[in-house]
Amino acid sequence: MEQADYQQLNGIALAYLGDAVYEVFIRQHLLALGMSKPNRLQKKATNYVSAKAQAALILKMQEEDYLTEEEWAYYKRGRNANSYTHAKNTSVLTYRQSTGFEALFGYLQLAGQQERVAELAAWCIKQVERGNLIHED
């Protein structure tokens, strides 16, 4: 996609891609740890990719002033997007925050900022593994 294209996408479309982008990093990480059983992989991945985990990660990014203004703008585009789906096991706020988190990854991927995507994914993995996250619900 050209630069103008991703800038026109709504937050839900960015989140659609961002969800997949982030999940690939998590899956690669878990395989690198030597995990190979599908049920165990799926259960462990949830610690990183659940709406609650993603919402907690974005709050930690805010706390540490980890994102640029432009990155925050794309996060907010996802968070504030009108979604016709809703959270199954979490609050609407948490679901919206996780949608924003995914939109951020989608934006970075489409903007060709793969190094930043990798940096953010590595930071997220480190936070989850350190247990540095507070889940709101």
What is d(CA 81, CA 96) in angstroms, rounded to the nearest whole number? 8
- Residue 46 CB partners (closer than 8 Å, separation 6+): 53
What is d(CA 7, CA 93) in angstroms, rounded to the nearest whole number? 24
Catalytic hit among 5, 19, 65, 137: 19
Closest of 26, 24, 19, 17 to residue 44, by C-alpha = 26
Closest of 24, 3, 36, 39 to residue 125, by C-alpha = 24
Is residue 5 annotated as part of the catalytic site, yes or no?
Answer: no
Q: Please, is 91 exposed, middle or buried when counting C-beta atoms within 10 Å of its C-beta (0-12, 13-18, 19+)?
A: middle
For the annotated catalytic residues, the residue numbers are 19
